[in-house]
Each structure stands twice: as structure tokens, then as C-alpha cells.
């Protein structure tokens, strides 16, 4: 479309040749062709650019319409297919069903594709609507409810599990992290303490450090977790990925930028694809003024909304030409999610609205709604930013209260707090 | 303990998903006992349900999809039950197409639904993928006599009922007239363009000087010619656009409209065309018609009453225009002989119009905002 605009502008600006005012006849003779030429050119152009996106019938059988995966053969998908057909033989087999659901959730999480959460729910169908399902099904139901931001539903499931089995480490951990998202730090800490007797040291320390670092003991928690991490070099790759991401985020909040950079790089070096990690690292780079590095990291990651958002933010700073297309893409995705009445994306949508659309008031509304659901430092930050940009300091009050009530230490938030006060 | 480690990853649920969850999109357009339908279903979902990737290479080609068309129809249509007054309506696929959505390519089924009687109310039952993906949603867009209703279907809400109440066609016609009037009044760019052309209409030019026209009849004819030419031109392009014969990107149209105002205003300051202003009105009226059309598109024109709405909107635009002329002409005619009019209103006014239009053009061209309108 840009091309066509360049075509028409010369028509608009080529001034008609100066014509002597004395001669009306000459005036007419010269001006009519100009107008006619213009009209014809305009209509021709109008017809030539009238091809817009609409349903179509491809002409070539070999035309590729959709790529389902990056690799031709994905062993994980193959395994999922086998598990699925095994379950189809006996849909009421709890062990098969939970195994498949768990694999679906892991795959969906790695790919960032919520379809797999739906497939997981389908595998659990015989138990999904029971009032008292077996613990293994209940745990997965809690996880899926959490993914849909039904935090209270998830917490109810977890407390049902823990009531019948106080030794379910996974349930304690999931519950702790949920309580952390809701900023209920005392309850989260209690949940974490149960892990001391049920889970490996690295897991329980991670849980406790995460919660303490948000409630007044940021430096001590970071040092503790770092020490325990170094003592547990034999931990599995996904444990290390989790702990390194936690360490990086704690270091960011403390303003230990060099350490944060190091933890992020160590986590990335594990070579496990992780959308959350890439998003957190990109945010860190953006704060460091390293937008170009974000573009390098994310230029092929346009499928994930969270990453596309960071890419667009970096492109905006750098004044890249690709920005407009990416903003349009994000707009379409948020519109699609609004059409299905989804609110899972409010944090991202608030950032998009504030920084890319530059509309502080609608951004503030989104950030406030998001704060009503979750209370993590990133949620606090977008609410502060939007409140300051909209000149509505009162809207920042809930975040300021959260910070002072819990002694939250976060260098990025303190900066905004000063502006807000 | 192994399980604990495994599910750590699941605890980060607060981040936006990479992909949109699964949705399908249905449009139903009700016209008496016929319903025209379009159903957009993601290829990824169809592949999961019935398998589209025949050679299992990870990508779906048009050939692979085409081979499955009848299977797709047989799979999907029973999951969309439409009934009217308790009697089932019969659906039949008319065409298979594809389209690009924000999250990938979708198979498009165009189908027709025949109901035994013209429906007073429609009951829609949606169960696509309910067994495979309970988080899947069906997003319905129901169009009836120019009004659009939307609904979300899912496992928790598989059946919904829609009352189809008759709209008064005159009421609808009047609504579009009102929209037309409002649009010309709120669309400052159309008013400014018209004013730029009308300013010299009460004058005539000879030997490089402006002079007042002798009588009201002369001024009236000038105005009539300009307004008529503008009307005819924008009616042509508005109709072409509304009937989807020509569609232009709105940024191009809006930028060109701003440019047309600059040209019109500049022509008053350095006159090049003064006897045949109606031709300018005609040429640029073509562009303004596309501008009107984008407004009309936002109003979601009902296909079954397209002509009526189009005529209504156009009549509204004309009425709005006439009101402006009725204000302008007596005032301009009265002032036409004065220095004030010939020097200041015409020249300085045109300069002001050109400046405003230049800012508009820059705004639209480079997508920023300075002016409040």
C-alpha cells in the first residue's frame, strides 16, 4: 500500500502549469486535460489497488497454507499422538489420562500454545466436573484453571488435595506460587515451608527465596538462593532454568544489573526454548537501553504475543520500519482475544496500549483490571507507568500500598514511585 | 519427587500465551427463510480433529486441504445445528475457500441454510471440537436487517436463542439519512473542501482581478454546478465502494482528501481554474466518495437493504451539504463586493484552510496527531 501512495502523490502535487490570467480560453484548454488526466489516473489506481485481503481459493495444489511445526518430525508430538490413541482405547484410565494431560500441558507451555491446555482438559473429561476427583486429576485441573486465570478455582482444588494429602509437594508448590501471584506472601511462605520436608533443597529454597524477596528480604533471599544453586550443580536442566530465571529477576529488582545479565545468559545457554525467559530477558535489555539486542534475540519470534510485544517496543525505540506491521498484528491479536471475552492478556495489552498506541487512559484501565487479578512486580510496574502517564496519581495508590505494606524492594518500581509521589 | 520437578514449568501462568486459543468464526445472514453462512475454522484445529497433513511433513498444502473438503463439511456441519420454531433447518456447503487470520490460515466454508418457515427466532447449537478441546469457542456474528448481534459459544454455553424482530424499513432509512447528515457536519475535511470551492463562486474573474457577480442568479448557478458535480462524483465512488467493486486503503484516501483541500484552497490564492470549478469538484469528489464509504463500512451495511441504506446515507450527505450552502450563499452574496470578502475572506481564509489541510495531510501520511479533529 505504501508503494501505491508514492504513486499518487506526484499527481497531487504536480502543479498545473502557470497560465496567464489574461487568456480564459487557454486556461480552459490547459486545465481540462489536467483534471481529466488526474481523474483517469486516480480511477486506474483505485482499481489496481483494490485487491484487499479476503477469502480466496488458491490456484496451486502445492501452495503451503500452514506450517504446523518447525520440524518435520517432532518426537514430542509423536509421543503425544501415541498417548492419545492409547487413551482412546480406554478413556476412563486415570493413569493414562493424567499422563497425557501432563504432557499436553508441558508441550503447550513450551510452545506457548493454549490449544494444548484445551486438549489436556479433554483428556481429563471423565473427572473434570466431579466434585471430588482423584488427587492427580485435581492437580491438573488446578493447573489448567490457573492458566485461564481462574486463580480462586485453582486454589480451591489445591486446598482440597492438601486436605486429603498434606504430603503432596507439587500441590504445596503450585499453591505457593499462586499465593505469590495474589501477593498473599504470609500464606505463600507457609506453603513453601512445607516443601522443606517434602522436596529437594533447591526447590524449597527457591520457593522461600522468591516469596521473601518480595516481602522485605530481597538481598538476603538472593544471596541464599544463589548459594544453594551453586551447591546443587547436579540439578536437572529444567530446575536450573527455573532457578536461574528467578535469580535473574531477583537481581534485576535489586539493581544488580551485571549479575542479572549473567543469570539470564546462563539460563539461555541451557538451550531450552522458554517464552517466559525470553520475555523477561527482553524487558531487562529494554531497561538497559539495549533495544538492538532485543531485535536480534526476537526477530524470528513473532508468533508469541508476549515476544512480539517486546520486539515492537524495541523497534519503536530504534525507529524500525517493521514497527507499523507488528503493531497492526498485535492489534488484531488483542481484538481476537477480546472477541472471545478473554482477559488473560491484560498485562501485555496495557503495555501495548501505553507504549505503542500511546493512549495512557485506556492503558490505565487495562492495568487496573489486571491488578485486580494479579500482583506481580510487572503488574505493579505497568499500573504505575500508566498512572503517571495519564496524570492520575491516585490510580497508583493500590500499588504504593502493596509496596509499603509488604516492603517490596524493586529498583524499577522505586523510580516510578518517586515520580508518583 | 520427580513430579515436583516436572511441573515447575506449569507455575508460570501469568504470561500471555504465544498463540491465541482456538476459536472458529461464524457469520449468519438471515434473509427470510434463507440464511447465508460463513464458517472460518483454523487449519490447525481441523488437522488435530481429522488430520489434514496427509504426507505428515508438518505443513498443510492446498492440495491436502482440498482432498479433505467433503470430510471437513461432514465433520463440522453436524456441530452447528440451527433451528427455527423448534424445526431444524438444513445446511448445505456452497464453497470452500481459505483466509488468513491473525493467528494463521483458516478454512472457510460458505454454506446456505434453509428453514421450513421464515424464522421468528433462531436457535443455534454449537458443539464443534467440544470433545477434543473444551476451551474452544465459536464466535457468532448474526446479521439481520442491518443489525448485527454477536455471541460466544462454548461447552458451558452450547445453545443460544436469538429473537428476530422486524425492523421498520423507514426507520432504518431515516437512520441512514441521519448518519449521512452527521458525517458531513462532523467531517470537517469535506466542509473545508466545499468551502474552498464555494468561496470564489460569488465572484467572477477577469484580467487577473476578482469582481462581484452581477446578480444572485449567477452566484446561484455557480454554487449549484459545484455542489452537483461534487455530489455526482462522490455518489459514484461511494456506490462503487459500498458495493465492494473498488476498495482503497483508508490511509491513501484520507491523505488524498487532505491534498484535495490544499489544491482547492491554493487555487483561490493563485487562481488557475476559476470558471470551471465544478470540474475540480467532480475530480476530487471521486476521492471524497471513498472517504464516505469508509464511514458506511463502519456502520455495517446490511446486504439485503444495501441499496436503501446507500440511498439514505447519500440523501443525508446531500441534506447536510445543502444546509451548509444555505448558510454560506446568502452571507457570501451579501459580502461579495467588499474588500473584506475579496481580499481577506477569500485569500486569507483559503490560506488558513490550506494550512489546516497541510497538517492533516502530514498527520495522515506519517500517522501522528496534532489537530484535535
Of B3, B13, B276, the CB nearest to A31: B276
pLDDT confidence of residue B190: 85
Residue B163 touches chain A, beta carbons under 8 Å: no
- Residue in A62, A111, A122 closest to B63 by CB: A62
Q: Tell me: pLDDT of A352 over 60.
A: yes
- pLDDT tens figures, B134-163: 999 999 999 887 778 888 999 989 999 998
**Residue A13: pLDDT over 60:** no
- Tell me how close the Cα of A242 comes to any Cα of chain B, in angstroms: 7
More confidently predicted of B68 and A149? B68
Residue B7 is predicted with a pLDDT of: 53
Give the ipTM.
0.72
Q: Give the per-residue pLDDT at A324.
A: 92
Partner A contacted by B155 (CB < 8 A): no
pLDDT score, position A47: 46
Within a domain: B94: yes
**Which chain B residues have a beta carbon less than 8 Å from that of A58?**
62, 98
B3 contacts A170? CB cut-off 8 A: yes
How far is the C-alpha of A284 from the C-alpha of B90, rounded, in Å? Answer: 57
Which chain A residue is nearest to residue B62, measuring alpha carbons?
Answer: A61
pLDDT for A10: 27
Q: List chain B residues with CB under 8 Å of A22.
A: 207-208
Smallest Cβ–Cβ distance between B256 and the set A8, A43, A174 belongs to A8
The pLDDT of residue B302:
63
pLDDT at site B17: 55
Inter-chain residue contact A18 with B272, CB threshold 8 Å: yes
In a domain, B372, yes or no: no
Share of chain B above pLDDT 70, in %: 90
Of A22, A32, A49, the CB nearest to B248: A49
In terms of Cα–Cα distance, which of B294, B255, B252 is closest to A46? Answer: B252
Which pLDDT band holds residue A109 (cuts at 50, 70, 90)? confident
Confirm whether A294 is domain-assigned: yes
Closest chain A residue to the Cα of B361, Cα to Cα = A9
Selected residues 226-245 of chain B with any CB under 8 Å from a CB in chain A = 237, 245
B residues 27-46 near A, CB within 8 Å?
Answer: 38, 43-45
Among B163, B183, B213, the domain boundary falls at B163
Domain that residue B187 falls in: 169-366
Check CB contact of B152 with chain A, cutoff 8 Å.
yes
Quick one: B20 and B116 in the same domain? yes
Domain boundary among B116, B141, B163: B163
Chain A residues with beta carbon closer than 8 angstroms to that of B55 = none
Beta bridge partners of B104: B101
Contacts of B255 in chain A (CB under 8 A): 5
Contact flag B132-A304 (C-beta cutoff 8 Å): no
Q: Which residue of B has its CA nearest to A22?
A: B207
CA distance B71 to B66: 10
Q: Which of A229-233, A322-326, B54-58, B247-251 has the lowest mean pLDDT?
A: B247-251
Q: Which of A233-237, A319-323, B230-234, B366-370 comes out lowest in average pLDDT?
A: B366-370
Q: How far apart are CA A214 and CA A250, in angstroms?
A: 9
Residue A42 has pLDDT above 60, yes or no: no
A115–B58: do the CB atoms touch at under 8 Å? Answer: no
At B230, list the grid cell: 461534487
Q: Based on the fold, state whether residues B188 and B156 are members of the same structural domain.
A: no
Q: Look at residue A199 and tell me if it is in a domain.
A: no
Examine the domain organization and report whether B93 and B187 are in the same domain. no
- Same domain, residue pair B309 and B227: yes
In this structure, the answer to whether residues B157 and B173 fall within a common structural domain is no
Percent of chain A with pLDDT over 90: 67
Q: Give how many domains chain B has, as a whole number.
A: 2
- Measured between CB atoms, which of B15, B21, B59 is closest to A68? B59
Q: Is B9 in CB contact (< 8 Å) with chain A? A: yes
Q: How confident is the model at residue A11 (pLDDT cuts 50, 70, 90)?
A: very low
Could you tell me the pTM of the whole model?
Answer: 0.66
Q: Do residue B152 and residue A53 have CB atoms under 8 angstroms apart?
A: no
Collapse the DSSP code of B111 into the 3-class scheme (helix H, G, I; strand E, B; otherwise coil) and give the result: strand
pLDDT score at B2:
39
Q: Let me know whether B24 and B104 are in one domain.
A: yes
Same domain, B315 and B212: yes
| Higher pLDDT, residue A23 or A248 | A248
What average pLDDT does the structure give for chain A? 86
Selected residue of B18, B105, B251 to mutate for chain A interface (largest A Cβ count, 10 A) = B18
A303: which chain B residues are within 8 Å (Cβ-Cβ)? 18-19
- Same domain (yes/no): B70, B105: yes
Q: Note whether B344 and B362 are same-domain residues.
A: yes
Closest-approach residue (CA) in chain B for A98: B3
Judged by DSSP in three states, B337 sits in: coil
Contact B7 A71 (CB under 8 A): no
The residue segments making up the domain with residue A306 are 273-342
Residue B47 included in any domain: yes
Task: Give residue A107's pLDDT.
Answer: 86
Task: Out of A65, A149, A329, name the one closest to residue B61 (CB).
Answer: A65
pLDDT in tens, A122-173: 999 999 999 889 999 999 999 999 888 889 999 999 999 999 999 999 999 9
Asked if A122's CB is within 8 angstroms of B134's CB, the reply is yes
Residue A192 domain-assigned (yes or no) = no
Residues B124, B212 within the same domain:
no
Say whether B249 and A49 touch across the interface (CB within 8 A): yes
Task: Assess whether pLDDT exceeds 90 at residue A301.
Answer: no
Interchain contact B249–A (C-beta under 8 A): yes
Q: Is the pLDDT of residue A1 over 50?
A: no
Minimal Cβ distance to A61: which of B61, B105, B274: B61
Question: Which pLDDT belongs to residue B262?
Answer: 92
- The H-or-E segment that residue A325 falls in is helix A323-339
**What was the pLDDT predicted at A119?**
95
Give per-residue pLDDT as tens, A250-266: 999 999 999 999 999 99
Q: Is the pLDDT of residue B28 over 50?
A: yes
Report the alpha-carbon distance of residue B90 to residue B102 in Å, rounded: 31
pLDDT at A21: 39
More reliable by pLDDT, B37 or B311? B37
B247/A22 CB distance under 8 A: no
CA dist., res. A46 & res. B92, Å (int): 36
Asked if the structure places residue A307 within a domain, the reply is yes
- A141 to A102, A113, A157: CA distances (angstroms): 10, 17, 7
Q: Which of the four pLDDT bands, split at 50, 70 and 90, describes residue A75?
A: confident
Are residues B321 and B300 both part of a single domain?
Answer: yes
Arithmetic mean of pLDDT, B58-71 = 94
Q: Is the pLDDT of residue B347 over 80?
A: yes
Statement: residue B272 has pLDDT above 50 = yes
- Hey, of B1, B9, B14, B50, which one would you mutate to test binding to chain A, going by the most A CBs within 10 A of its CB? B14
The pLDDT value given to residue A29: 42
Q: For residue A95, what pLDDT is reported?
A: 95
Q: Which residues of chain B are within 8 Å of residue A337 when distances are taken between CB atoms?
A: 20
Q: Considering the domain boundaries, does residue B208 fall inside one? A: yes
Q: Is residue A391 part of a domain?
A: no
Query: Residue B25's closest CA among B95, B77, B101?
Result: B101
pLDDT of residue B183: 80
CB contact under 8 A, A35 and B135: no
| Contact present, A328 and A357 (Cβ < 8 Å) | no
Instruction: Please write the tens of the pLDDT for every residue from A266-298.
Output: 999 999 888 889 999 999 999 999 999 999 999
% of chain B exceeding 90 in pLDDT? 30
Phi, psi for residue A170 in degrees, rounded to 5:
-60, -40
CB contact under 8 A, B21 and A118: yes
CA A131 remoteness from chain centre: 32
Lowest-pLDDT range, A23-37, A152-166, A201-215, A344-358? A23-37
- Among candidate residues B116, B131, B163, the one where a domain is terminated: B163
Stretch A26-41: mean pLDDT: 51
In the sheet that holds B137-144, the strands lie side by side as B90-101, B104-114, B34-42, B23-31, B137-144, B147-153
Facing B9 at nearest CB: one of A42, A109, A337: A109
Smallest CA–CA distance from A46 into chain B, residue: B248
Residues B83 and B178 occupy one common structural domain = no
Task: Supply the pLDDT for residue B147.
Answer: 77
Burial A16-43 (b: 16+ CB within 10 A, else e): beebebeebeebeebbeebbeebbeebe
| Residues of chain B with C-beta less than 8 angstroms from the C-beta of A181 | 14
- Could you identify the residue written with the cell 444572485? B216
Question: For B100, which of A53, A174, A203 is closest by C-beta distance?
Answer: A53
Is residue B4 in some structural domain?
A: no
Q: Which residue blocks in chain B are alpha helix, DSSP H?
A: 2-6, 43-50, 62-67, 69-76, 169-186, 188-198, 216-242, 250-269, 277-298, 306-335, 339, 349-366
Q: Which residues sit opposite B161 in a β-bridge?
A: B123
> What secondary structure letter does DSSP report for B154?
B
Mean pLDDT is highest, among A19-28, A305-314, B211-220, B266-275, for A305-314
Inter-chain residue contact A333 with B137, CB threshold 8 Å: no
Confidence of residue B217 (pLDDT cuts 50, 70, 90): confident
pLDDT value, residue A122 = 96
Residue B303 has a pLDDT of 63
Which residues in chain B have their CB less than 8 angstroms from residue A143's CB? 7, 10, 13
A41 pLDDT exceeds 80? no
Q: Which of residues 44-63 of B touch A (CB under 8 A)?
A: 44-45, 47-48, 53, 57-63
Per-residue pLDDT of B100-123, as tens digits, reads 887 789 999 999 999 888 888 899
Cβ neighbours of A342 in B, within 8 Å = 21
Contact criterion met (CB below 8 Å) for B132 and B115: no
Question: How many structural domains comprise chain A?
Answer: 1
> Would residue B371 count as lying in a domain?
no
3-state secondary structure of A105: helix
Q: Do A199 and B9 touch (CB under 8 A)?
A: no
Cα nearest neighbour of B109 on chain A: A55
Amino acid at each position: 500500500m505504501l508503494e501505491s501512495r508514492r504513486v499518487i502523490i506526484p499527481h497531487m502535487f504536480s502543479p498545473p502549469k502557470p497560465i496567464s490570467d489574461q487568456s480564459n480560453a487557454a486556461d480552459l484548454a490547459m486545465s481540462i486535460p489536467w483534471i481529466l488526466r488526474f481523474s483517469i489516473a486516480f480511477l486506474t489506481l483505485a482499481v489496481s489497488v483494490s485487491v484487499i485481503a479476503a477469502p480466496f481459493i488458491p490456484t496451486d495444489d502445492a501452495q503451503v497454507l500452514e506450517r504446523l511445526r518447525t520440524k518435520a518430525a517432532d518426537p514430542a508430538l509423536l509421543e503425544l499422538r501415541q498417548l492419545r490413541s492409547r487413551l482412546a482405547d480406554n478413556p476412563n484410565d486415570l493413569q493414562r489420562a493424567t499422563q497425557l494431560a501432563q504432557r499436553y500441558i508441558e508441550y503447550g507451555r513450551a510452545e506457548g500454545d493454549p490449544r494444548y491446555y484445551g486438549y489436556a482438559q479433554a483428556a481429563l473429561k471423565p473427572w473434570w466436573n466431579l466434585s471430588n476427583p482423584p488427587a492427580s486429576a485435581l492437580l491438573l485441573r488446578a493447573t489448567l484453571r490457573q492458566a485461564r486465570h481462574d486463580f480462586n478455582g485453582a486454589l480451591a482444588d489445591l486446598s482440597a488435595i492438601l486436605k486429603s494429602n498434606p504430603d503432596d509437594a507439587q500441590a504445596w508448590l503450585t499453591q505457593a506460587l499462586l499465593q505469590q501471584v495474589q501477593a498473599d506472601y504470609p500464606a505463600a511462605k507457609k506453603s513453601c515451608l512445607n516443601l522443606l520436608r517434602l522436596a529437594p533443597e533447591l526447590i524449597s529454597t527457591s520457593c522461600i527465596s522468591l516469596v521473601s524477596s518480595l516481602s522485605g528480604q530481597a538481598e538476603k533471599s538472593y544471596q541464599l538462593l544463589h548459594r544453594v544453586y551453586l551447591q546443587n550443580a547436579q540439578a536437572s536442566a529444567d530446575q536450573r532454568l527455573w532457578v536461574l530465571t528467578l535469580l535473574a529477576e531477583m537481581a534485576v529488582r535489586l539493581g544488580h544489573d551485571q549479575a542479572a545479565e549473567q543469570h539470564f545468559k546462563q539460563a539461555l545457554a541451557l538451550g531450552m526454548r522458554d517464552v517466559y525467559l525470553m520475555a523477561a530477558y527482553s524487558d531487562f535489555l529494554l531497561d538497559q537501553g539495549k533495544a538492538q539486542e532485543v531485535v536480534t534475540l526476537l526477530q524470528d519470534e513473532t508468533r508469541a504475543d508476549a515476544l512480539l510485544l517486546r520486539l515492537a517496543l524495541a523497534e519503536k525505540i530504534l525507529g524500525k520500519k517493521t514497527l507499523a506491521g507488528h503493531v497492526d498484528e498485535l492489534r488484531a491479536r488483542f481484538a481476537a482475544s477480546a472477541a472471545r471475552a478473554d482477559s488473560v492478556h491484560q498485562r501485555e495489552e496495557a503495555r501495548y496500549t501505553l507504549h505503542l498506541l500511546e493512549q495512557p487512559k485506556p492503558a490505565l484501565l487495562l492495568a487496573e483490571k489486571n491488578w485486580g487479578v494479579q500482583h506481580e512486580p510487572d503488574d505493579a510496574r505497568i499500573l504505575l507507568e500508566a498512572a503517571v502517564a495519564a496524570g492520575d496519581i491516585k490510580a497508583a495508590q493500590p500499588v504504593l500500598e502493596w509496596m509499603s505494606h509488604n516492603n517490596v524492594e524493586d529498583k524499577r518500581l522505586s523510580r516510578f514511585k518517586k515520580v508518583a509521589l | 519427587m520427580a513430579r515436583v520437578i516436572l511441573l515447575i514449568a506449569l507455575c508460570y501462568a501469568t504470561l500471555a500465551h504465544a498463540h491465541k486459543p482456538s476459536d472458529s468464526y461464524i457469520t449468519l445472514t438471515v434473509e427470510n427463510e434463507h440464511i447465508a453462512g460463513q464458517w472460518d475454522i483454523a487449519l490447525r484445529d481441523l488437522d488435530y480433529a481429522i488430520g489434514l497433513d496427509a504426507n505428515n511433513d508438518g505443513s498443510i498444502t492446498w492440495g491436502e486441504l482440498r482432498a479433505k473438503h467433503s470430510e471437513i463439511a461432514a465433520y463440522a456441519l453436524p456441530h452447528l445445528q440451527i433451528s427455527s420454531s423448534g424445526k431444524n433447518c438444513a445446511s448445505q456447503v456452497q464453497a470452500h475457500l481459505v483466509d488468513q487470520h491473525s493467528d494463521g490460515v483458516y478454512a472457510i466454508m460458505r454454506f446456505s441454510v434453509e428453514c421450513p418457515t421464515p424464522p421468528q427466532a433462531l436457535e443455534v447449537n454449537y458443539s464443534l471440537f467440544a470433545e477434543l478441546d473444551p476451551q474452544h469457542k465459536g464466535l457468532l456474528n448474526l446479521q439481520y436487517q442491518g443489525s448485527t448481534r454477536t455471541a460466544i459459544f462454548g461447552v458451558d454455553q452450547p445453545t443460544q436463542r436469538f429473537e428476530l424482530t422486524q425492523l421498520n424499513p423507514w426507520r432504518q432509512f431515516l437512520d441512514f439519512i441521519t448518519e449521512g447528515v452527521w458525517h458531513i457536519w462532523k467531517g470537517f475535511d469535506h466542509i473545508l473542501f466545499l468551502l474552498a470551492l464555494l468561496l470564489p463562486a460569488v465572484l467572477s474573474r477577469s484580467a487577473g482581478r476578482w469582481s462581484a457577480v452581477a446578480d444572485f442568479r449567477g452566484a446561484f448557478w455557480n454554487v449549484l454546478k459545484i455542489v452537483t458535480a461534487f455530489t455526482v462524483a462522490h455518489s459514484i465512488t461511494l456506490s462503487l465502494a459500498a458495493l465492494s467493486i473498488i476498495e482503497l486503503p483508508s490511509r491513501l484516501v484520507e491523505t488524498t482528501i487532505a491534498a484535495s483541500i490544499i489544491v482547492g484552497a491554493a487555487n483561490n490564492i493563485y487562481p488557475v481554474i476559476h470558471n470551471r470549478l465544478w470540474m475540480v469538484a467532480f475530480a476530487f469528489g471521486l476521492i471524497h466518495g471513498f472517504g464516505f464509504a469508509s464511514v458506511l463500512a463502519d456502520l455495517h451495511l446490511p446486504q439485503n437493504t444495501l441499496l436503501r441504506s446507500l440511498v439514505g446515507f447519500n440523501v443525508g450527505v446531500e441534506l447536510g451539504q445543502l444546509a451548509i450552502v444555505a448558510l454560506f450563499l446568502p452571507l457570501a452574496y451579501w459580502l461579495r463586493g467588499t474588500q473584506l470578502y475579496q481580499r481577506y475572506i477569500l485569500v486569507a481564509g483559503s490560506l488558513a484552510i490550506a494550512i489546516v489541510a497541510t497538517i492533516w495531510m502530514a498527520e495522515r501520511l506519517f500517522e501522528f496527531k496534532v489537530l484535535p479533529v
